[in-house]
Amino acid sequence: MSTRTAVVTGASAGIGAAAARSLARAGFHVVLGARRLDRLTPLAEETSGTALTLDVTDADSVASFAERVPECHVLVNNAGGAWGVERVEAADEEHWRWMWETNVLGTLRMTKALLPKLVDSGDGHVITVTSIAGHSVYPGGSGYTSAKHAQAALHETLRAEHLGDPVRLTEIVPGAVETEFSVNRFDGDTDRAAKVYEGYQPLAAEDVADVISFAATRPSHVNLDRIVMKPRAQLDGKTFHRE
């Protein structure tokens, strides 16, 4: 096939949906994976892509998804998220387990399942969306920051293990992005989520998607190892200039 295929996980909303649109505009055939097929179907129609049910926390779901993808040139590991803001001494193990299953093991499962096809393509590319939380810490964020640190380490290790193979690896490291992220983290509390973004202009999902598409369309000999992007008003995971 002359059209290159890009697989995007967590594609039903936020960064994943925006990345699917951006990659489709760049000429890729996009394969969209997420649990909410009702949201994926109209996006697949909009992008002339393919919508497939996917739960990255379920090994059987990942295996079934991968079997239905005949070839893969770009994998965007985007599925992830945070749940809760408990301090370490009050950590909720259910929250931790979900964050590690989604961010770390989900990335592991998807990469394992599609890496042979990425290498066989002769010009594969794994793009993993982590977070600045994977490179720093903040109070109340230990479950999420530890998961993102592990996800970043997994991705960097792949870069070393596949040096010399026809596959590139890019880590996208966003700061504050206004999506469903905070609403989900706060169990649907939209008022609390809105306060996260008060007093400054956060990144939009489309900002991150543009960077994903940019990385995916560089010449095959160019590997953008890590791209850190934050709002102008953000210094780190906990420091912002708010008007």
Instruction: Establish if 183 belongs to a structural domain.
Output: no
Residue 192 lies in a domain: no
**CATH number of 72's domain:** 3.40.50.720
Look up the pTM and report it: 0.94
Calpha distance 59→61 (Å, rounded):
5
Domain assignment of residue 235, yes or no: no
pLDDT of residue 2: 64
Give the model confidence (pLDDT) of 42-73 as tens digits.
999 999 999 999 999 999 999 999 999 999 99
Residue 129 forms part of a structural domain: yes
Give residue 154's domain range: 5-176+205-229
Which three-class secondary structure state does DSSP give residue 239?
Answer: coil
Q: How many domains does the chain have?
A: 1
Does 193 reside within a domain? no
pLDDT beyond 80 at 158:
yes
Scanning the structure block, which residue is given the tokens 């599609």?
Answer: 114
* Segment 80-105, tens digit of pLDDT: 998 888 999 999 999 999 999 999 99
Q: Is residue 191 part of a domain?
A: no
Task: List % helix, strand, coil for the chain (3-state, nearest 5).
Answer: 45, 15, 40
DSSP state of 104: I
Higher pLDDT, 135 or 183: 135
Q: What is the pLDDT of residues 213-231, one digit of tens each?
A: 999 999 999 999 999 999 9
What confidence tier does 1 reach under pLDDT thresholds 50, 70, 90?
very low
List strands edge to edge, sheet with 74-77. 50-53, 29-34, 5-9, 74-77, 124-129, 167-174, 226-229
- Cα–Cα nearest to 1, from 51, 50, 61: 50
Whether residue 238 lies inside any domain: the answer is no
Chain mean pLDDT for the chain: 94
Q: Is 144 a catalytic residue?
A: yes
Query: If pLDDT is split at 50, 70 and 90, which confidence band does 185 have?
Result: confident
Residue 20 lies in a domain: yes
